[in-house]
Amino acid sequence: MITGKNYIGNELSAKGNITFNTFDPKLNIPTEWNFHEATDGEIDTAAEKAQSAFKVYKNTSGEQRADFLIAIAEEIEGLGDVLIESYMKESGLPEGRAKGERGRTMGQLRAFANLLEEGSWIDATIDTAQPERQPLPKTDIRKMQVPIGPIAVFGSSNFPLAFSTAGGDTASALAAGCPVIVKSHPMHAGTGELVASAMIRAVERTGMPDGVFSNLNSSGIEVGQKLVMHPNVKGVGFTGSIRGGTALYQLANERKEPIPVFAEMGSINPVVALPGALMAKGEDWAKSYAGSITLGAGQFCTNPGLLLGVKGKELEEFGSILGKEIEKIEPGCMLHPNIHKGYEKGKEELSSQSKTEVVASFDTEVPPNYGKQRILKVDGSDFMANPKLHQEVFGPFSVLVQCENTDELEKVIDQLEGQLTGTVLGNEEELENYGPVVEALKNRVGRLIFNGVPTGVEVCPSMQHGGPFPASTDSRFTSVGTSAIQRWVRPVSYQNWPQNHLPDALKDNNPLGIMRLVDGKYTTSKI
């Protein structure tokens, strides 16, 4: 049941008088669910509970935390259709997507549970003593990762489940041993509360400390700001706009004790379409890209917003087929009137730039809040001269840039801001012949894709979801995949520490059986 209250640790709480409703974008009316904004007092209590919970939670075993994550997945599944219905109502997204995203959310929780059970992620590194070393003896030193403290997680608008309440940021922080305070996304606060209720049941079921998880409602920015500035909060996970993420990043750096902010922000995900690929499979790629650009009404951070190529018959044909294909696709409902308004505004703003030309545009009337796709075309030199064209338009929109030659193509890529992904459509020979273009692309992105589409982000150890600024605030970390746990830990060395008092991960007999770096060699053996 959706109560509209906050979870301050395990307690439902509604001390504030400011309330807001979520919105059904398909019916274009507010939902019946009314939410109480968290008050300053509630934020403080959540932060204090998180601090107390941390003292216990950081010392739970990997196995205990794995059980907790699995219990969360089970409780989410246990919510049944109620969750799917609130998801659809608050997001306008279809049932298939809702169920797929629920599966991914549970899959992520289970992937982190597996990671904890395997245990090597803790990076145990041991250098044993050398008492006979000259000129000075060497003492025993052992290092492992420890959790940094309570984390504030900001739910994202476009992933009500997989990147919100119990999404990737929360799952990775809880896996690391950090309590989490979620600032629920106001567009799907009901879905958020349902998931939070499942999480609280999992907290109680597995005996985790009260305060290890809280869920705060807010329709404005103040609750989030207060959370980021709270001295008990030691890190922030965010998925959203460049403006929002950068503001939180700057705020966190102004604290007396700055804290890391992992903001996954904008990306236009450049796609380099080389002539060989277009010659061989231009029509297929045009169809794939029409699908990728409009997938989920274009509301993915990996949406291909920039198609790059060298002028010629192949690129022209590709553009023309892409245009025809994309006009055939039925537009989808966007997440919220504000998202839709932002999309239409951005689309028109870019379309009105001089030297741009519309390749394709869906212009038939659609219901309110549906995002109508459009493709623009511009020359490489005009694109480089106008940074407005480099901006992300969040929705089913893409710009096709026609470069004069390979040099110009390389220059265009060099000038791009940091991106999550970069794709090359080509044949193997072209990878060789366009070496500097591919190198330039690699320099601007976190993930390179060969002959594919950037949408569809695998949750696996090898995934890098994050790229040079402003794709994310810290390109050294990923927000998708099991490596995301590394954002919430820091190493601690134990020097000359007695065996019995070392954490299990660092004991001579390796009771966890994990991979460790011992005296420079990787091994799962005892010492």
Under DSSP, the state recorded for 372 is: P
Q: Which amino acid is at 514?
A: I
Q: Which position among 72, 227, 389, 449 is part of the footprint of its own copies (CB under 8 A)?
A: 449
Contact criterion met (CB below 8 Å) for 236 and 228 = yes
- Window contacting its own copies (CB under 8 A); options: 26-34, 312-320, 321-329, 459-467: 459-467
Extended beta strands in 364-519, E state: 370-371, 374-379, 397-403, 419-425, 445-450, 489-495, 516-518
Please state the separation of Cα 453 from the chain's center in Å: 18
Task: CB nearer to its own copies: give 311 or 497.
Answer: 497
What is residue 366's three-state secondary structure? coil
What are the tokens at 135? 């000129």
- Window contacting its own copies (CB under 8 A); options: 42-50, 247-255, 347-355, 393-401: 247-255
Strands 151-154 and 141-147: unpaired
Q: Which residues contact 405 (CB under 8 A, 6 or more apart)?
A: 310
Question: How near is the Cβ of 252 to its own copies at its closest, in Å?
Answer: 10
Task: CB nearer to its own copies: give 254 or 365.
Answer: 254
Strands 445-450 and 419-425: parallel
The site map against its own copies for 123-162 (x = CB under 8 A) is --xxx--------x-xx-xxx--x-x--------------
- Window contacting its own copies (CB under 8 A); options: 7-15, 271-279, 327-335, 478-486: 478-486
Question: How near is the Cβ of 200 to its own copies at its closest, in Å?
Answer: 26
Please report how many Cα atoms fall inside a 13 Å half-sphere around the Cα of residue 4, on the Cβ side: 17
Contact status: 365 vs its own copies (CB under 8 A): no
Task: CB nearer to its own copies: give 217 or 483.
Answer: 483
The dihedral through the CA atoms of 49, 9, 100, 236 has a sign that is negative
Contact status: 474 vs its own copies (CB under 8 A): yes
Task: CB nearer to its own copies: give 114 or 509.
Answer: 114
The site map against its own copies for 21-60 (x = CB under 8 A) is ----------------------------------x---x-
Catalytic site includes residue 333: no
Q: Which position among 475, 504, 508, 527 is part of the footprint of its own copies (CB under 8 A)?
A: 475
Question: How near is the Cβ of 462 to its own copies at its closest, in Å?
Answer: 4
Catalytic site includes residue 301: yes
Contact status: 496 vs its own copies (CB under 8 A): yes
Site for its own copies in 160-189 (CB under 8 A): none
Strands 261-264 and 19-24: unpaired
Task: CB nearer to its own copies: give 217 or 292.
Answer: 292
| Among the listed residues 482, 480, 506, 478, the one whose alpha carbon sits nearest the alpha carbon of residue 494 | 506
Task: CB nearer to its own copies: give 257 or 365.
Answer: 257
Neighbour-count burial for 339-369, b at 16+ CB within 10 Å, e otherwise: bbebbeebbeebbeeeebeebbbbeeeeeeb
Element (H, E) at 265: none
Task: CB nearer to its own copies: give 1 or 136.
Answer: 136
Q: Which amino acid is at 353?
A: Q
Q: Which of 37, 42, 101, 264 is catalytic?
A: 264
Question: How near is the Cβ of 172 to its own copies at its closest, in Å?
Answer: 14
Q: Which residues contact 333 (CB under 8 A, 6 or more apart)?
A: 25, 26, 92, 93, 297, 367, 369, 370, 371
Question: How near is the Cβ of 7 to its own copies at its closest, in Å?
Answer: 26
Q: Which position among 337, 367, 491, 513 is part of the footprint of its own copies (CB under 8 A)?
A: 491
Question: How near is the Cβ of 517 to its own copies at its closest, in Å?
Answer: 6
Site for its own copies in 387-426 (CB under 8 A): 417-418
Q: Give CA–CA dist 52/56, Å, rounded.
A: 7
Phi, psi of 118 (to 5 degrees): -70, -50
Q: Which position among 280, 358, 385, 448 is part of the footprint of its own copies (CB under 8 A)?
A: 448
Question: How near is the Cβ of 1 to its own copies at its closest, in Å?
Answer: 31
Contact criterion met (CB below 8 Å) for 57 and 401 = no
What are the tokens at 384? 């480089």
The site map against its own copies for 281-320 (x = CB under 8 A) is ----------------------------------------
What is residue 405's three-state secondary structure? coil
Q: Which of 178, 301, 333, 403 is catalytic?
A: 301
Residues that bind its own copies (rule: CB under 8 A) add up to a total of: 70
Question: How near is the Cβ of 140 to its own copies at its closest, in Å?
Answer: 9
Tracing tokens 């509360």 back to the chain, one arrives at 193
Task: CB nearer to its own copies: give 190 or 467.
Answer: 467
Phi, psi of 308 (to 5 degrees): -120, 135
Q: Is 224 exposed, middle or buried (0-12, 13-18, 19+ CB in 10 A)?
A: buried
Q: Give CA–CA dist 517/208, Å, rounded.
A: 31
Q: Which residues contact 176 (CB under 8 A, 6 or more apart)?
A: 145, 147, 148, 485, 487, 488, 489
Site for its own copies in 252-281 (CB under 8 A): 253, 257-258, 260
Contact status: 243 vs its own copies (CB under 8 A): no
Contact status: 526 vs its own copies (CB under 8 A): no
Question: How near is the Cβ of 120 to its own copies at its closest, in Å?
Answer: 7
Q: Give CA–CA dist 310/278, Å, rounded.
A: 11
Q: Which amino acid is at 388?
A: K
Q: Which residues are catalytic?
A: 264, 301
What residues make contact with its own copies under the rule CB under 8 A? 55, 59, 114, 118, 120, 125-127, 136, 138-139, 141-143, 146, 148, 249-250, 253, 257-258, 260, 417-418, 428, 431-432, 439, 442, 445-452, 456, 458, 460-464, 468-470, 473-476, 478, 483, 486, 489-498, 500-501, 515, 517, 520, 522
